[in-house]
């Protein structure tokens, strides 16, 4: 920790938030808001003189409110930076009439109430997302009485109690009588592995964390009665089974079964746990002077901000989705962005550190050659066909197209900024944009080839590379079975799917067409799928006007983690396909071949 | 439109992968390859046990050189998995890597229609036909090179963020380590001892 604070290559920004990220791999522009500390970080020696005079007392959040701190404080003794910090919301202020005592006391004059929040801008080549996790709040599991009984603690609270740097200097004491308990019970899987409350997944660290805590308790007092109530003890890692055995060897009792309720003895404040031991099928009552809830791990609440800023995807557990679960476990789907630690899923310190080093290796692999090959799948304007209408520049999510609509000069694509979604090509009313590697000719050839034989039996599906095509892959990996009629055409983004592709498919006898992409907010190309949505709705309106059943064109958002949803959509499309008769298809062809029936693409 | 410029004559090679029994256990790979041979501009159409293996890739390379193939269709797994592998294979044989098209017979046919070999085989043929049609229109692409900023933003100063920042900084890269709390350390800083070795966290 201390090394990170003083390394010449590291700019450490605490109390800081990312405001925006723009650009692309190799050249990201990052804007950061650094909030005012009101103490000069580089001058404060952490002498602690200011703390002694501060009259304000507030709960210490680092100790889970088990102790208090002043308005000017150090979060914990080994904090980096070690400089003190002012909690401006609780400080009485610098007006000498009201307070201002710390300013007077500080010999080095480090306290500065005029300090402002700073907006900083940096240019970086790669990004590592290590946003961590939160712990589950057990309030909703009222049967454990966390909010009613003081001697019921969460595992982080217990952790602070047993920590030498914590509020009791490492002495485990009951909150009700400040005496060391003679018996402690741990309850596992609080907020984990439950379909009903909390999270459905295993939080990965709680079993071993409890084993560790039991050993620490036994170290303090070998006669202490320690029980652990569990569903399964998962001691799967290197050295874990040894530690588990050591705990059992020291007399810790492991009882298979989670308590159904906890009652407090009103006099002694002891806790009575009612539990069915599933090994013996006996309903038992256990008395404990302290209960520790081994709470699970959750994705942090503010994850969505970063997710949207960096166009990342989440899996069903709510953690970030890696590019490939085995082969690219630390890469995001966005090139140049990597994951480390619990951002990608619950993990212990060793795994977090391993993953961090892996993410660094992946980032260095990109940066080391000093030059980077960029996307070859980019758009190009055919100058002689361009009418300089400006639509392409308007729809480009990356502002990679410039056009002077007044001077009527043809649009220009900044190739390095183009990410290749193809929205411009799909929206261009003059067919003046060539989307390389996903050209009109290439996609139309696929449509024609698919519908060459038995078109009435086919479901034509446009799937974006990052989400819905990946969702189809996930359905495959999961061996989910669905009707074999769908034929996928992959585009990089659903934004590439031009109106003319859909009309062509119907003209060639396709009974139904599906356009699928990333969920709104998850688009790999920022907001390109907004244009997909507008376009599909526009087409459905046109279909109605032409007397075609608009539901034959469907739009679905399917993420890379939604294999099951992909299967369900395929089943739905198959039911829809069966509702289309040969006569309806023939009639559609007639209407569409009479092209005058298709209104010209309206300029939005 | 702009694409209707003169194109070189297509000489297409189709390679159907059994992927052991992953594809071959359901899809009639030999039948798909034989069907591929009937499609226009197809010079060779083969089926192999494992195309991603070295002998598999060598077969493609040899054909590119001996048969003067200029478009390759690989009918195997998802391009999200092995497109980079086969693009590299093309490049090594002197062909522009963008002249590759893949048909996804594993994730989209054999694995999801395992109980319907006929349906899976029909779908495989359609996907190969679609891939061949697209391959005819493919054009080589060149990847542009741009300079890369030798700096990394690390979001989050917990144990993972700290480790990442130190490894990068020690490798000579600039690091911006951003933490929303007043101190780095994250959840790790709460802990006294850590499993399985019972040493201190900080």
| Cβ separation A372–B158 shorter than 8 A | no
- Cβ(B164)–Cβ(B154) under 8 Å? yes
**Tens of pLDDT, residues A121-135:** 999 999 999 999 999
Give the closest residue to B144 by CA, choosing from A436, A24, A401, A376.
Answer: A376
Residues 109-148 in B contacting A (C-alpha not used; CB under 8 Å): 109, 111-116, 119-120, 122-123, 126-127, 129-134, 136-139, 141-148
Residues B99 and B194 both lie in one domain:
no
- The mean pLDDT of A223-244, rounded to a whole number, is 96
Q: Which of A237, A437, A449 sits opposite B133 (nearest CB)?
A: A449
* pLDDT > 70: percent of chain A: 98
Residue A599 confidence (pLDDT): 53
Residues B68 and B161 both lie in one domain:
no
Residues B103 and B28 both lie in one domain:
yes
Q: Which of A32, A131, A483 sits opposite B156 (nearest CB)?
A: A131
Residue A38 confidence (pLDDT): 96
Residue A211 confidence (pLDDT): 98
Distance of CA B33 to the CA centre of its chain: 21
Is the CB of A480 inside 8 Å of chain B's CB atoms?
yes
Tokens (6 digits) for B83: 């497109």
Chain A residues with CB under 8 Å of B115 CB are: 481
DSSP structure class, residue A418: -
pLDDT surpassing 90 at residue A76: yes
Looking at the 3D structure of chain B, how many domains does it have?
2
Number of H helices, E strands in chain A: 16, 29
For residue B74, being part of any structural domain is answered with: yes
Q: What distance in Å separates residue A454's CA from the closest CA in chain B?
A: 11
For residue B129, being part of any structural domain is answered with: yes
Is the CB of B84 inside 8 Å of chain A's CB atoms?
no
User: 10 Å Cβ neighbour count for B21?
Assistant: 10
| Cβ separation A124–B152 shorter than 8 A | yes
pLDDT surpassing 60 at residue A187: yes
* pLDDT > 90: percent of chain A: 88
- Cβ(A1)–Cβ(B202) under 8 Å? yes
Residues 279-308 in A contacting B (C-alpha not used; CB under 8 Å): 306
pLDDT surpassing 80 at residue A466: yes
- The mean pLDDT of B150-178, rounded to a whole number, is 98
Q: How many CB pairs under 8 A join A and B?
A: 370
For residue B4, being part of any structural domain is answered with: no
For residue B51, being part of any structural domain is answered with: yes
End position of a domain, from candidates B84, B101, B136: B136
**Tens of pLDDT, residues A294-326:** 999 999 998 989 988 887 888 889 999 998 888
For residue B21, being part of any structural domain is answered with: yes
- Cα–Cα distance between A345 and A171 in angstroms, integer? 32
- Cβ(A168)–Cβ(A161) under 8 Å? yes
Residues B127 and B165 both lie in one domain:
no
- Cα–Cα distance between A360 and A160 in angstroms, integer? 32
DSSP A32-101: EEE---SB-TTT-----HHHHH----EE-GGGTTSSEE-SEE-SSTT-SS-S-EE-TTT---S-TTT--H
Is the CB of A351 inside 8 Å of chain B's CB atoms?
no
| Cβ separation A128–B174 shorter than 8 A | no
pTM: 0.83
Residue B2 confidence (pLDDT): 43
Is the CB of B158 inside 8 Å of chain A's CB atoms?
yes
Residues B113 and B193 both lie in one domain:
no
- The mean pLDDT of A513-519, rounded to a whole number, is 96
Give the closest residue to A87 by CA, choosing from A75, A99, A76.
Answer: A75
Domains of chain A: 36-116 (3.30.70), 134-298 (3.50.50.60), 314-367 (no CATH), 374-437 (3.30.70.20), 439-597 (3.40.50)
User: What's the half-sphere exposure (Cβ side, CA atoms, 13 Å) at A449?
Assistant: 27
Residues B20 and B79 both lie in one domain:
yes
Q: Return the SS3 of B85.
A: helix
Listed in sequence order, the DSSP H helices in A277-413 are: 303-310, 349-367, 391-395
Domain CATH code at residue B20: 3.40.50
Residues B79 and B168 both lie in one domain:
no
| Cβ separation B126–A487 shorter than 8 A | yes
- Cα–Cα distance between B194 and A350 in angstroms, integer? 10
Least CA distance to B113: which residue of chain A?
A: A481
For residue B141, being part of any structural domain is answered with: no
pLDDT surpassing 90 at residue A188: yes
For residue B194, being part of any structural domain is answered with: yes
Residues B68 and B156 both lie in one domain:
no
Q: Chain A interface, mutation test: which of B164, B184, B193, most A Cβ atoms within 10 Å?
A: B164
- Cβ(A413)–Cβ(A381) under 8 Å? yes
DSSP B15-76: EEE-TTTTTTTTS-HHHHHHHHHTSTTEEEEEEES-TTSHHHHHHHHHHHHHS---EEEEEE
- Burial of A42 from C-beta contacts in 10 A (0-12 / 13-18 / 19+): exposed
Chain A residues with CB under 8 Å of B133 CB are: 445-446, 448-449
**Tens of pLDDT, residues A357-416:** 999 999 999 999 999 888 799 999 999 999 999 999 999 988 889 999 999 999 999 887
Residue B1 confidence (pLDDT): 42
Residues B131 and B155 both lie in one domain:
no
Residues B109 and B182 both lie in one domain:
no
Residues B83 and B117 both lie in one domain:
yes
Give the closest residue to A539 by CA, choosing from A582, A504, A589.
Answer: A504
Residue B146 confidence (pLDDT): 87
Residue-range definition of the domain harbouring residue B176: 151-200
Specify the DSSP element, H or E, that contains A218.
helix A206-220
Residues B178 and B131 both lie in one domain:
no
b/e string for A493-503 if b means 16 or more Cβ within 10 A? bbbbbbbbbbb
Is the CB of A212 inside 8 Å of chain B's CB atoms?
yes
Is the CB of B66 inside 8 Å of chain A's CB atoms?
no
| Cβ separation A208–B150 shorter than 8 A | no
| Cβ separation A85–B182 shorter than 8 A | yes
Q: Return the SS3 of A281.
A: coil
Least CA distance to B39: which residue of chain A?
A: A449
Is the CB of A33 inside 8 Å of chain B's CB atoms?
no
- The interaxial angle of helices B117-136 and B29-37, nearest 10 deg, is 30
Q: Chain B interface, mutation test: which of A134, A207, A341, most B Cβ atoms within 10 Å?
A: A341
- The mean pLDDT of B110-133, rounded to a whole number, is 98
Distance of CA A223 to the CA centre of its chain: 44
For residue B7, being part of any structural domain is answered with: no
């Amino acid at each position: 920790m201390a090394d990170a604070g003083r390394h010449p290559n590291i700019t450490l920004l605490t109390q800081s938030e990312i405001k925006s990220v723009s650009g692309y791999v190799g050249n990201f522009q990052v804007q950061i808001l650094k909030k005012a500390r009101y103490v000069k970080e580089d001058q404060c020696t952490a002498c602690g003189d200011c703390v002694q005079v501060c009259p304000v007392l507030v709960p210490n959040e680092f100790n889970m409110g088990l102790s208090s701190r002043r308005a000017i404080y150090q979060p914990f003794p080994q904090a980096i930076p070690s400089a003190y910090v002012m909690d401006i919301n609780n400080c009485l202020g610098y007006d000498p009439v009201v307070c201002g005592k710390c300013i007077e006391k500080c010999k080095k004059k480090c306290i500065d109430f005029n300090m402002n929040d700073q907006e900083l801008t940096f240019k970086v080549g790669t990004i590592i997302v290590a946003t961590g996790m939160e712990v589950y709040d057990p309030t909703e599991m009222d049967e454990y009485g966390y909010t009613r009984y003081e001697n019921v603690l969460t595992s982080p609270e217990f952790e602070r109690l047993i920590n030498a740097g914590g509020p009791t200097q490492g002495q485990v004491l009951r909150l009700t009588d400040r005496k060391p308990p003679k018996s402690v019970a741990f309850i596992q899987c609080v907020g984990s592995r439950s379909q009903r409350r909390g999270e459905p997944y295993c939080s990965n660290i709680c079993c071993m964390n409890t084993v560790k805590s039991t050993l620490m308790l036994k170290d303090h007092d070998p006669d202490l009665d320690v029980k652990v109530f569990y569903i399964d003890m998962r001691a799967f890692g290197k050295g874990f089974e040894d530690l588990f055995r050591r705990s059992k060897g020291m007399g810790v009792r492991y009882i298979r079964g989670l308590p159904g309720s906890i009652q407090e003895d009103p006099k002694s404040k002891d806790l009575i746990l009612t539990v069915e031991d599933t090994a013996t099928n006996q309903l038992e009552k256990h008395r404990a002077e302290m209960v520790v809830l081994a709470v699970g791990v959750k994705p942090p609440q503010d994850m969505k901000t970063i997710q949207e800023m960096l166009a990342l995807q989440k899996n069903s557990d709510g953690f970030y989705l890696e590019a490939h679960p085995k082969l690219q476990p630390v890469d995001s789907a966005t090139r140049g962005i990597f994951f480390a630690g619990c951002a990608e899923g619950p993990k212990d310190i060793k795994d977090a550190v391993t993953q961090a080093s892996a993410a660094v290796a992946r980032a260095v692999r990109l940066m080391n050659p000093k030059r980077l090959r960029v996307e070859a799948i980019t758009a190009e304007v055919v100058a002689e066909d361009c009418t300089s209408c400006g639509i392409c520049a308007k729809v480009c999510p990356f502002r990679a197209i410039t056009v002077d609509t007044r001077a009527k000069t043809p649009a220009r694509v900044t190739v390095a900024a183009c990410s290749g979604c193809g929205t411009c090509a799909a929206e261009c009313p003059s067919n003046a944009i060539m989307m390389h590697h996903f050209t009109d000719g290439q996609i139309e050839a696929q449509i024609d080839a698919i519908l060459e034989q038995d078109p009435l039996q086919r479901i034509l599906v446009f799937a974006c590379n990052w989400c819905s095509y990946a969702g189809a892959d996930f359905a495959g990996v999961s061996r989910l079975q669905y009707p074999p009629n769908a034929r996928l055409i992959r585009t990089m983004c659903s934004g590439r799917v031009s109106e003319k592709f859909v009309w062509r498919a119907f003209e060639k006898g396709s009974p139904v067409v599906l356009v699928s992409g990333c969920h709104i907010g998850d688009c790999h190309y920022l907001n390109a799928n907004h244009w997909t949505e507008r376009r599909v709705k526009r087409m459905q309106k046109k279909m109605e006007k032409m007397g075609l059943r608009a539901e034959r064109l469907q739009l679905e958002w399917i993420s890379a983690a939604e294999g099951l949803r992909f299967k369900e959509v395929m089943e739905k499309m198959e039911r829809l396909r069966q509702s289309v008769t040969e006569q309806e298809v023939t009639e559609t062809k007639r209407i569409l071949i009479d092209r005058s029936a298709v209104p010209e693409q309206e300029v939005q | 439109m702009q694409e209707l410029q003169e194109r070189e004559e297509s000489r297409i090679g189709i390679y159907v992968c059994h992927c052991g029994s992953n594809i071959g256990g359901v899809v009639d790979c030999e039948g798909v390859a034989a069907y591929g041979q009937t499609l226009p501009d197809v010079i060779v159409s083969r089926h192999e046990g494992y195309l991603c293996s070295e002998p598999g890739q060598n077969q493609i390379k040899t054909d590119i050189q001996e048969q003067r193939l200029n478009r390759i269709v690989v009918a195997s797994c998802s391009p999200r998995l092995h497109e980079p592998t086969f693009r590299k294979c093309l490049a090594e044989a002197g062909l522009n890597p963008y002249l590759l098209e893949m048909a996804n017979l594993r994730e989209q046919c054999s694995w999801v229609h395992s109980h319907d070999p006929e349906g899976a085989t029909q779908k495989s043929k359609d996907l190969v036909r679609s891939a061949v049609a697209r391959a005819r229109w493919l054009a080589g692409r060149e990847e542009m090179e741009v300079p890369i900023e030798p700096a990394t933003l690390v979001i989050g100063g917990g144990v993972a963020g700290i480790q990442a920042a130190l490894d990068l900084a020690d490798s000579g890269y600039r690091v911006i380590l951003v933490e929303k709390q007043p101190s780095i350390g994250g959840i790790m800083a709460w802990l006294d001892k850590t499993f399985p070795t019972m040493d201190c966290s900080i």
